[in-house]
Structure 1
Amino acid sequence: MSLTAERHSFPLNDGNTMPLKGIGTYADPKTTPKGLGYESVKLAIDVGYRHIDGALVYFNEHEVGQAIREKIAEGKVKREDIFYCGKLWNTFHPPELVRPTLERTLKTLQLDYIDLYVVELPMAFKPGDTFYPRDDNGKYIFHKTDLCATWEAMEACKDAGLTKSIGVSNFNCRQLELILNKPGLKHRPVSNQVECHPYFTQPKLLEYCRQKEIVILGYSPLGTSRDESWVNLTNPPLLKDNLLISIGKKYNKTAAQIALRFNVQRGVGVIPKSFNPEHIKENFQIFDFSLTENEMKAIEGLNTNVRFVELKMWGDHPEYPFHDEY
């Protein structure tokens, strides 16, 4: 597949397409200055990004939406040029809450539709507007919902034109099978957003999803922050890897650019989050070179099958996805 900065969209199983290169907008509202998401998305669109990954639980969709609308008003892009992905959070899994939650996202973004809506995690929490509900002892309050019933409500959102496509995130093979084998299935998931980078290449899940025509969209494609409160630090920092650095020197690229190119070259989407202007520009400059077959194999050899993002605080949830091999 020939990839260029202008053309790097991948076909989805519902007839739509998705740019393989996007920008993530995850932000901790406690530590992220106001306006940073807005400025970053505006710059990203100017640089050439057309895929923007957001979520209700990032608490900055109002900024992201404003940036998109301003760039449309300027004539820099048309609405149909932009691919926006939103997410259904864990507290809104009951079917009757799915459409109102998407409508809340649309109202916040001030857009008529989004391009992809995904179930962010297969784990339901106690319904309500407390996004991380806990009991008096500080234990998370889980909720039992039927993933297939949630999926049917997602299908209804697509049928209503509120989202062009629907997908999932952090689903393992068993949970995907549950959806795919659902009686009366109308729309298959077009994508599964999961952690994916040279230290965690997801070969088995990638092969399974390819067979089912589900695109893998890789989050944390450059590794993650080194915050030990939620990140597994067994893996060393990805961007200090000697192989990635040495291959980068050959192409006059950074280790980050090599890691991103590795994924898109094998048909995996990437959505690195950055609020750093230089990194936003650099992360898009991955279409003017190609890795050789030997370099791709060498980078695949870095895989350790160890996650950075384990979400162990929810490990006792009945639908915790990472106990399974893939």
Structure 2
Amino acid sequence: MTEANNTIPLLTLQDGHRIPQIGLGTWKCSPDETEAVVMAALDAGYRHIDCAFIYGNEVGVGNAMKGKLDGGSLSREDMFVTSKLWNTYHGKDDVKSGFLRSLESLQLEYLDLFLIHTPVAYQRGDQIFPKGDDGYPIFADVDYIETWKGMECLVEEGLVRSIGLSNFNEKQIRRVLEVATIKPVINQIEVNPYFTNTALIEFCKSKNITVVAYSPLGPTAHRAGYSPGDKILLEDPVINAVAKKHRKAPSQVAVRYAIDKGLVVLTKSSKFERIKKNIQVFDFHLDEDDIVAIDNMNQNQRTVPSTMNLKSPYYPF
């Protein structure tokens, strides 16, 4: 990794590959702004970029990375790029085509990490969200075990270095582990002080599966379904007291909380100053009292409940 990334710790996955402990999330980054946002993040020192087909902005991510690669300021080995398999590609024979769509958009020859975005399968076809008359997605009866076998083929073909899961619960992970020839190295799940997800984190650790935390800042006033009076994580007095103690922003404390838990954490912002601030979290540590206080904030409150998938037998929550 280049000098710009020396301050970001690298965690070693169970397959021997290493992942930067902080990454830029690109969910809800509009296609029009994605290229500039990723460019700014790379300039700020980010080397881990988290993408997904369903985000609809992988072309912008690819353009930003290509600009850096063509300009010679970064090499491909400097970067760690993740994407995720969408729900309409869960059939074993469909996995590769779903993967290649992301790879082409990102303009890369391989990915560092590819995840099953969710254990829930949708009807295959050109519609990203095939909907039934009831307004819910049209689910497909495709077991994620079949999907995992397709994921393993990607590693065997040299298209991706590591594979993993996203939004899988303990029971579902156990089923994958029972049949896996190549073990999942990652489970990407929601983790923040209002949803500490402790039991699942401990289970993943016991199986040598690294946890990647999304939505580390928890509920905000910008989330879907927000109502005046709802609790906002970054306004919580506990977070603000810890932030004052360390002379840091509440957002930096929330990010540092995931890091001090030994997790990889994804931050997201389209504001350049916030992009830089979110990565400036390696010059302080939370002490034991801080961790206990923040642990006690847990409300088992998901920011991303994915209720549209409630009717699927594979719904993980």
Q: TM-score under structure 1 normalisation?
A: 0.92
1:289 partner letter: F
Q: Show structure 1 runs of 4+ deviating over 3 A.
A: 224-235
**Against the structure 1 CA distance between its residues 64 and 7, is the aligned structure 2 distance closer, same or farther, given a 3 Å change threshold?**
same
SS at match of 1:35: helix
1:27 partner letter: K
1:48 and 2:52 matched = no
Describe the superposition over 1:5-55 as per-residue Cα deviations: whole angstroms up to 9, x where unpaired.
534111101110111100111126xxx3x4311001011011111110011
Once superposed, what is the RMSD of the aligned Cα atoms? 1.8
**Against the structure 1 CA distance between its residues 233 and 161, is the aligned structure 2 distance closer, same or farther, given a 3 Å change threshold?**
farther
1:109 Cα deviation from its structure 2 partner: 1.0
Match of 1:155 in 2: 152
**Against the structure 1 CA distance between its residues 228 and 239, is the aligned structure 2 distance closer, same or farther, given a 3 Å change threshold?**
closer
1:74 Cα deviation from its structure 2 partner: 2.2
1:223 partner letter: G
1:137 Cα deviation from its structure 2 partner: 4.2
1:258 and 2:253 matched = yes
- The partner residue of 2:107 within 83, 107, 110 is 110
Match of 1:92 in 2: 89
Match of 2:274 in 1: 279
Describe the superposition over 1:247-270 as per-residue Cα deviations: whole angstroms up to 9, x where unpaired.
111222100000000111111111
Match of 1:35 in 2: 32
1:76 Cα deviation from its structure 2 partner: 2.2
How far, CA to CA, are the matches of 2:135 and 2:9 in structure 1? 45
SS at match of 2:267: coil
CA contact (8 A) 2:220 2:233 kept: no
**Against the structure 1 CA distance between its residues 152 and 22, is the aligned structure 2 distance closer, same or farther, given a 3 Å change threshold?**
same
Match of 1:175 in 2: 172
Match of 2:76 in 1: 79
Describe the superposition over 1:47-76 as per-residue Cα deviations: whole angstroms up to 9, x where unpaired.
111110011111110000110111122222
2:204 partner letter: C
How far, CA to CA, are the matches of 2:7 and 2:75 in structure 1? 14
CA contact (8 A) 2:8 2:282 kept: no
CA contact (8 A) 1:232 1:308 kept: no
SS at match of 2:155: helix
CA contact (8 A) 1:230 1:309 kept: no
1:127 partner letter: R
- The partner residue of 1:241 within 236, 242, 246 is 236
CA contact (8 A) 2:20 2:80 kept: yes
1:280 Cα deviation from its structure 2 partner: 0.2
Unmatched 5+ residue regions in structure 2? none
1:14 and 2:37 matched = no
CA contact (8 A) 1:231 1:309 kept: no
Of the structure 1 ranges 59-68 and 74-83, higher mean CA displacement relative to structure 2 is found in: 74-83
1:129 Cα deviation from its structure 2 partner: 2.1
2:263 partner letter: V
Match of 2:291 in 1: 296
Unmatched 5+ residue regions in structure 1? none
- The partner residue of 1:165 within 149, 162, 167 is 162
Match of 1:59 in 2: 56
How far, CA to CA, are the matches of 2:285 and 2:108 in structure 1? 36
How far, CA to CA, are the matches of 1:76 and 1:103 in structure 2? 26
Q: 1:98-247 counterparts in 2 under 5 A?
A: 98-182=95-179, 185-226=180-221, 229=224, 236-247=231-242
CA contact (8 A) 2:119 2:144 kept: yes
Describe the superposition over 1:156-187 as per-residue Cα deviations: whole angstroms up to 9, x where unpaired.
101111111000000000000010011xx221
Describe the superposition over 1:217-265 as per-residue Cα deviations: whole angstroms up to 9, x where unpaired.
1111111444564569996111111111111112221000000001111
Q: TM-score under structure 2 normalisation?
A: 0.94
The share of aligned pairs that are identical, in percent, is 39
Describe the superposition over 1:95-118 as per-residue Cα deviations: whole angstroms up to 9, x where unpaired.
111011111111111100011000
How far, CA to CA, are the matches of 1:300 and 1:234 in structure 2? 23
CA contact (8 A) 1:201 1:300 kept: yes
